[in-house]
Amino acid sequence: MKRGPTDGLIGMWAHTFNKNGDVDRQFQILRRSGDAYIVQLYSFEDGHPDGMVAISRKTILQNRLYESVYGLNDAMNVIEQKKKEKEQKEVQAFLRKAEGLRLAS
């Protein structure tokens, strides 16, 4: 879907994030309705359409926007990789601490 001439957000793709910084929704902006946009949600499991909701313009602009589904998917891959790396570092730090405690006793 091409973006409309009167609103540059129409047709764009986006992620929203929860308070922990994890992606909680992925969607494409379909049309504007007042101060909100009607968006098509997509499943994380299979990528299929997963309902439609209205999201405020303010909320959309506070999150990450992409010009294509390819940009959205590439960004998701980077986000997931960074999350795995962070989790691995946390596990390694825990194991080092546990080993230190074992050696100290």
- What's the pLDDT score for residue 47? 87
Confidence (pTM): 0.74
Q: Which residues of the chain have pLDDT under 70?
A: 1-6, 105
- What's the pLDDT score for residue 99? 80
- What's the pLDDT score for residue 6? 61
The rounded distance, in Å, linking the Cα atoms of 82 and 35 is 34
| Four-residue CA torsion sign, 40, 60, 6, 75 | negative
DSSP states of 27-62 as a string? EEEEEEETTEEEEEEE-TTT--EEEEEEEEHHHHHT
